[in-house]
Amino acid sequence: MKKRIIATLMAATLAVSMLAGCSNKGDAPKETTAAPAGDETQAPDGTTAAAGDETQAPDGTTAAAADNTGAGSEYHLAICIHSLDNEYWAQEAEGAKLAAAAYGVSADVLTCDSDDNKQLQGIKDYIAQYGDKAIFVVDPSSTANTANIADVCEESGNYVAILAHRADGLYPKDFPHFVASLMLDDIAIGKATAKALFDSIGGEGQVVELQGLLGDDSASNRHKAFEEALKDYPNIEVVDSQTASWSQADAMTLTEGWLVKYPDLKGIYSANDTMALGAVEALKNKNLNGQIKVSGCDGIEAALNAVKDGDMVITNANDGYMIAGYGASYAIQAAMGKLDPTALPDGERLIFCKTTLVTEENADDIINKFITTKNPGYDYNDLSFCVDKYQEN
Amino acid sequence: MKNKWEDSLSALSVGQQFAQKVKDDARKDKIRRYAPLILLIVMTIIGAISQKNFFSWGNIVNIMYQMSIPLVISTGLMYVLLLGSIDLSIEGVMGFAGSFVAFLVINNSNDNDFGLLGILLVVLISTAVGALTGFLHVRARIATFIVSYAMGCIMTGAAVLVYRGTPIQVKDELFNVLSQGMLLGIPYLTLIAFAIFIIGALILNYTAFGRAVYAIGDNETAAASTGINIGLTKIKVFALCGCTAGLAGILQCIRLKLGQASLGTNQMFPVVTAIVIGGGSLSGGKGGALSAFVGVLIYTELVNWLTLMGVDPYVRKVIQGVIIIIAVTLTISRSRKTISK
C-alpha cells in the first residue's frame, strides 16, 4: 500500500517534470545541477537522473547552439551559478548561453544553491566528463571558494573565468588558466544611484536608507557608497538607516513606520530593487508613490517597470548578459587558442564590467533588451566591450 | 541549618504538603496567565512615553496592518502548537500560495484572470497540502518536524517553478482595492485578517474539534481513551494550518503585489515566538486564541517600536533578541512536571 503511494507520487513527479521540460525553449541548452555526491544531477524542473546518463542521453534541447557553427563544437561550457530562481542569476545563465552559442560551444548550467562543496564537485565532475574540452564561467558560491575553483581548474588545465567575487590575494596572473576576474563596481554603482536620488529631490531634505543583509559583501559596499555620495550633499539629512535584509516585506514594514515618524520624508535609498519595491508598495498605500523618491539597484523586471511608471527614480541594471556572457567569452577564447591569457597585462585580467543606470528615459529600451527579447545583442567576440575599467591591484 | 521553609514543610503531613503545592501552583498559574497581558500593557506604555507618534492613528493602523499576516499564520499555527507539534511548511506554503495566486489573477506575465476563483483554488491547494502533511505524519508516523520541513521544501520548489526566476507582478484591480481600500480608516486587509483569526478562535473555543485539540495536546493517551479520533483530528489541524498559511501567502501577495517564493521567508518563527510569549507552549496543551492574539500584538508592537526608535541596525537585532528572552522568561510556564499535573 505504502509502496504504491510512493510509486504514484514518483510517477506524478516525473509527469510534471516532463511537462515542465517540454515548456523549455527549444534552443535552450539543458540545465543540470551537480549534486555533492556527483552521482546524481537534478535539473531545476525536478528531473533526476544519473549524471553520465543524463548528459549523454540524446536530448533534443542539448547543444542546439553547437550545430550553428562547427568551430567550437568540441568544447563544453559549464555555467556555474547559485540557482535559477533569482532573476539576476537566470540572466547570467542566459548571457553565458548566448556567448556559448556565438562561439558554437555547447553549454550546461550547473547550480550549486550557494553550497561551496556542491559547486566544486560539479566542476570536478564536469572535468571528469569532458577533460580538457571543459570550459568554466563561475559565479562562485562564496568569495572564499574562488581560490579553490582557481586551484582545481589550474590543476586540470581547464580555462575558467570567475565572476562577481574574488578572494583577497587571488590574482589571475598567478594562474595561467584563471583567465579573468570580472566584477561589478558596487561602490561606483551605489554612488551613482544615491546621487541620482539626491538630485531628484533637489539635493536637500530628509532621506532614509534601506540596507541589505548585515555582514553581506554587497550590502556593506552599497552602504559605503551611500555614505560616500552623502559627502557631496551637505543638505541631505539621513534620518534613519535600517536593514531590511534584502526582503520586500521587511522593507515595506520599515517604510510604513517611517512614513508615520517622518512626515517630511523626501527620499528612500535602497540597496536593492526588492526592498525598493517594498518601499514603493508602502508609499502606494498612502498615495505617496512618485512624490517620495525611491532608488534601487540590480534591475529586476518589476523594478524596471516601477522606474518606467515613475514609482522609482532610478535603478541599476547589473546586466548578467554582460558579466557572464563576456566572462564566458574570455574563457572560451582562451580555450580555443584565440586569446593567450598569460600574454595579457596582469591588470587587464581584473575587470570591472559595464552596467547601465536605468531611469524613466531608457527604461523601455532596457526592458526590451533584457526582459522582452532576452538578448541585448552584444558582440561577444569583442572582449573589450565589457570593460568599464580595471580593478585596482 | 534548616531554613524556615523547610521547617514549615516538615511540620505538615504528606497530604497537607500536597494540598499546599497544588495551591501554590494554582496561584502561580493565575499570575502567569495574566503575565502576557501585563507585558503588553507595559510595552504599550513604554512605547507611548518614548515615542510621541506611537499612539497616533496612523501608527495604530500601521500596527494593525503589520499584525495582519502574523495573525493569520497564528490562526492555524496555534492549533498545531496546542497539539505539541510544529508545522515548518508554513513558509513554503505561503511562498507557493503567493506565487501561484499572482500567476492566476491578472498579471504581467500571462493572460490569466481567475480573480476570486483563483484565490479559492490556491486556498484549496494549500489546505490539501496541509492535509497531506498531517496524513503523512499520522499514517507514515513521520515526526511533524521532519515531514512539514520536507513539505515546505517541496512547496518552495513548486513556487519557484510557477514563476521560473522572474517574480510575477500582480496587476489585478481586486488586489489594489484589498490592499489600499479602507473601512472606517482600517485597511480591508486588516479586517480580513482579523475575521480569519476570529473564525479560527471560535472554532477552537466552541466546537468539539477545538476541545479535542486541547485534550490531545494535554495527554494523547487519555484523549484516545475518551474516544477522540486522534489521527483524524491531527490531519484536520494540519489541513487548517495549511489553509491559513495559504491565506497568509495570498494576503502577503496582496500587500506586496509580487508573487515570489520569498514571500514566506522568516514569517514562521516570529509567530511561534509570539505565541510562546503570549503563553502558549511548544509541548502542547497550553495557550489558545487569546494568548496567540496577545503574543502577536506584543511582537508587532516591539518591532514597530524599534522602527520608531530608529536604533542602529546592529544593536536593534540584539535588543530584539534580549526583549524576546525577557518576555518568554516572564510568561512561559515552568510547572509542567509538578505534582499538580
Chain A residues in contact with B180 by the CB 8 A cut-off are: 284-285
Do the Cβ atoms of A214 and B263 come within 8 Å? no
Q: Do A34 and A125 lie in a common domain?
A: yes
Do the Cβ atoms of B62 and A242 come within 8 Å? no
Q: Do A6 and A127 lie in a common domain?
A: yes
Band the pLDDT of A66: cuts 50, 70, 90. Answer: very low
Nearest chain A residue (CA) to B301: A257
Which residue did the predictor score with more confidence, A168 or A332?
A: A332
Q: A138 is written with which cell numbers?
A: 563561475
Task: Establish if A203 belongs to a structural domain.
Answer: yes
Q: Do A272 and A292 lie in a common domain?
A: yes
Work out the minimum CA distance from A261 to partner chain B, whole angstroms.
Answer: 6
- Cα(B167)–Cα(A273) distance, integer angstroms: 12
CB A175 within 8 A of CB A341: no
Query: Partners of B187 in the beta sheet?
Result: B182
Task: Establish if A363 belongs to a structural domain.
Answer: no
Q: Do A193 and A307 lie in a common domain?
A: yes
CATH code, domain with A259: 3.40.50.2300
Q: Do A146 and A224 lie in a common domain?
A: no
For residue A279, the enclosing domain spans 186-317
Per-residue pLDDT at A113: 84
SS3 A142: coil
Task: Establish if A349 belongs to a structural domain.
Answer: yes
Q: Work out the mean pLDDT of chain A and round it to a whole number.
A: 83
Q: Is the model's pLDDT at A5 over the cut of 80?
A: no
Q: Do A159 and A203 lie in a common domain?
A: no
- Cα(A103)–Cα(A29) distance, integer angstroms: 14
Question: At A179, phi and psi to the nearest 5?
Answer: -65, -50
Q: Is the model's pLDDT at A10 over the cut of 90?
A: no
Stated pTM of the model: 0.80
CB A34 within 8 A of CB A118: yes
Per-residue pLDDT at B7: 57
The beta-carbon neighbor of B313 closest among A44, A89, A214 is A214
Chain B residues in contact with A257 by the CB 8 A cut-off are: 59, 62, 304, 307-308
Measured from the Cβ of residue A376, the count of other Cβ atoms closer than 10 Å reads: 20
Band the pLDDT of B288: cuts 50, 70, 90. Answer: confident
A193-197, B148-152, B326-330 — which is least confidently predicted? B326-330
Q: Work out the mean pLDDT of chain B and round it to a whole number.
A: 87
Q: Do A70 and A104 lie in a common domain?
A: yes
Mean pLDDT across the stretch B174-182?
86
Q: Do A143 and A269 lie in a common domain?
A: no
Q: Do A175 and A37 lie in a common domain?
A: yes
Task: Establish if A380 belongs to a structural domain.
Answer: yes
Band the pLDDT of A215: cuts 50, 70, 90. Answer: confident
Q: Is the model's pLDDT at B300 over the cut of 80?
A: yes
The beta-carbon neighbor of A256 closest among B62, B160, B180 is B62
ipTM of the complex, rounded to two decimals: 0.81
Q: Is the model's pLDDT at A51 over the cut of 60?
A: no
Which residues, including other chains, have CB under 8 Å from residue A381's CB and lie 6 or more apart? A102, A329
Mean pLDDT across the stretch B269-297?
88
The radius of gyration of chain B's CA atoms, rounded to the nearest angstrom, is 22
- pLDDT tens for B99-132 read 999 999 888 888 888 888 999 999 999 999 999 9
Do the Cβ atoms of A254 and B307 come within 8 Å? yes
Q: Is the model's pLDDT at A18 over the cut of 60?
A: no
Quote the number of domains for chain A. Answer: 2
Band the pLDDT of B36: cuts 50, 70, 90. Answer: confident
Task: Establish if A368 belongs to a structural domain.
Answer: no
Q: Do A60 and A158 lie in a common domain?
A: yes
In terms of Cβ atoms closer than 10 Å to its own Cβ (0-12, 13-18, 19+), residue B244 is buried
Task: Establish if A365 belongs to a structural domain.
Answer: no
Q: Do A34 and A130 lie in a common domain?
A: yes
Band the pLDDT of B249: cuts 50, 70, 90. Answer: very high
Work out the minimum CA distance from A226 to partner chain B, whole angstroms.
Answer: 16
In a mutagenesis test of the B interface, which of A223, A256, A284, A304 is the best target, namely the one with the most B β-carbons within 10 Å? A256
- pLDDT tens for B2-31 read 555 555 555 667 777 788 888 887 777 777
**pLDDT winner (highest mean) among A71-85, A195-209, B282-296:** A195-209
The beta-carbon neighbor of A302 closest among B187, B258, B304 is B258
Q: Do A42 and A60 lie in a common domain?
A: yes
A9-23, A68-82, B308-322 — which is least confidently predicted? A9-23
Buried b (16+ CB within 10 A) or exposed e, A347-360: eebbbbbbbbbbee
